[in-house]
Structures are given as structure tokens and as C-alpha cells.
Structure 1
Amino acid sequence: MSRGLSKIPILLWLLVTISCSPGEGTEGPGINEIEDLKTKQYAIQGQQLYLQYCSNCHQEDGSGLARLIPPLKKADYMLDDIDRTIRLIKMGISGEIIVNGTSYDQPMPGYPQLTNLEIAQISTYIYNVWGNKKGLVPAERVNTVLENASNIPLQ
């Protein structure tokens, strides 16, 4: 066997190892800057849930989908009211909303199957990435908000 061929398995192993290793910042934008351990844990779990339930429409980077789906990144509608966001995740919404001065009228499905903890994790994620630093959204807050949700309009 020539010397060149004997190096191929090593090079392949190195290539696979490098390409499969988590790179810096794999937790997502903003998560690495979270100092509080519980908030960081919620955000990491929330990122996975966000990717599963929300990113198809709102995009992985929170930018939305043109004039069809509103952005979450730097969205005044979201930043103005954490409790409303909690209710939206659970119950969805239909009808017009205004986000950063732009009208959106596409219904958003709710996710009633999500637990209050999962909603807290998603909320913690979206409120601590893309330049936001709102801190932990605890499951207890989600419990309280959703217990009183039937009396509060989403708009």
C-alpha cells in the first residue's frame, strides 16, 4: 500500500470529526450571552421547541415571511406584551395585527398541546435572542397568564 493511501482514513476521520463537532454559538444567537443558568437552560430547550413549532412561519432567525407572517425579531407587538405572547402561543390568533407599523392578517394556529413549561421555554428563548434581554419567563407566570386568559382579548 502506498503511503498516500494510508493517510486517507485519517483524513476522512478528521473531516467527519470537524464537520460534526458543534461549532461556537450552536445554541443560537443570544443564548451564549445569557448568564443566568436557569434562563439559559429554558432558552436552550425553547430554541428546540421554537424550531419545531414556530420557525416554519416566523423563520429560524425570527425575521418572519415578508408581508405574510410577522417578524418576531425586533417586533414591537411581541416586545410590548409578554403575557399576550404567552396566550398567542397557546391559543393562536386570527384577525389583523400591526407589527412595526405593518399590517398582518394571516391566522396563527395555537398549540394547546404544549405544556406551560414548554411555553415558558419558548417565551424565554424568543425574549432573549435577536438582541432581546428580558430574562427568564417562568412557568409560574405562564400558569397565571393562562388561568386568566379567557377574560383578556388577544388584540
Structure 2
Amino acid sequence: MKFLVGSYFIIVSCLAYFMIQDKELKESMQRGEQIYTDFCITCHLANGEGVAYTYPPLAKSDYLMNNREASIKGVKYGQRGPLIVNGVTYDNTMMPLGLENEEIVDVMNYVLNSFGNSGAKTVTLEEVNTILK
């Protein structure tokens, strides 16, 4: 009986944690969509597909999914030089956007969970705070 009660408590606790986490991610993504619209849409376009050979796609981006820290660093400090996204080389400059760390969290959560990207662990403020130039 103690085992059943203990198991029940663990299951309910886990479900509550994931429900809260999902709500927080959804709210972060909503804020991130607005930031994307304000800062990113000009180059990466509304559908996240970018401009061929000029601005890399964020949609279904292998680079974003496989280079999480570098992606966050690029949003935080800007990015210069070549990178390969979905097999295509892009060699351009992305200037720093001047976003606060909280805004970087939100826009990264939006991008990593939109445009055909999925399954990424939620980006946290602590994670962004640790990214140094």
C-alpha cells in the first residue's frame, strides 16, 4: 500500500512539473514570437527560411539543433564568418541585436520550437547567462 501511495505521489508530481514547464515554454514562445517579428523577420523571413546563400534558414535548421551554445552566442553577441546550415555555406555578418538575456531566452525558445524545429530542451536564463563572448 505504501508503495502505491508513493508511486502515485511521484507520478502526480512529475505530471505537475511537466504541465508547469509546458506552460512556461508556451509563454516564453509567445514573447519570443514578438521579438522575432521585431528583430529577426527582416533577414530570416516570416517562415524562417532565410534568403538562399545570404541569410541562413532557421526552419528545420540542423545548425540550430546541433550547435545550441553557438546559436545562443550568435544571438547574444552577433556572428561573423562562415557556417554551414543544412549543407549550405553562409558567410555573412549578423550584428548584435542588443537583446536582454531574458529576450534571448524567449526568442531562442520560439525559434527552436517553430518552423519545423522541435524537441529542443527549453532554453533557460541560467544557460544564456553562462554564454560568454
Which category describes the TM-score, using the shorter chain as reference length?
0.7 to 0.9
Separation in 2, partners of 1:49, 1:97: 24
The alignment partner of 1:71 has SS state of coil
Identity %: 36
Q: Which residue of 2 aligns with 1:140?
A: 126
Give the Å deviation of 1:135. Answer: 4.1
The correspondence for 1:130, drawn from 115, 120, 130, is 115
Instruction: Encode CA deviations 1:70-127: one digit per residue, 9 max, x unaligned.
Output: 101111111112111111001111111111111111111112x211100000000001
Q: Could you tell me which amino acid in structure 1 is paired with residue 80 of structure 2? A: S
> Is 1:118 matched up with 2:103?
yes
Q: Residue 83 of structure 2 aligns with which residue? A: 97
* Aligned with 2:40 (options 51, 54, 60): 54
TM-score normalised according to structure 2 size:
0.79
- Superposed displacement of residue 133, structure 1: 2.8
Contact 2:65–2:120 (Cα < 8 Å) also in 1 = no
SS at match of 1:97: strand
Give the 3-state SS of the residue equivalent to 1:64 in structure 2: coil
d(CA) in 2 for partners of 1:57, 1:80? 21
Cα RMSD after superposing both structures = 1.3
2:23 to 37, 61, 66: 37
Larger radius of gyration: 1
TM-score, scaled to structure 1 = 0.68
Unaligned 5+ segments in structure 2 are 1-20
The equivalent residue for 1:77 is 63
Which residue pairs with 1:21 in the alignment? Answer: none
Q: How far apart are the structure 2 equivalents of 1:64 and 1:81?
A: 18
Map of 1:108 onto structure 2: 94
In structure 2, C-alpha distance between the alignment counterparts of 1:51 and 1:65, rounded to whole Å: 16
Q: Residue 110 of structure 2 aligns to which amino acid in structure 1?
A: Y
TM superposition outliers: structure 1 runs of 4+ over 3 Å: none
Counterpart CA distance in 2 for 1:54 and 1:92 is 12
**Unpaired segments ≥5 residues, structure 1:** 1-34, 151-155
Letter in 2 for 1:122: V
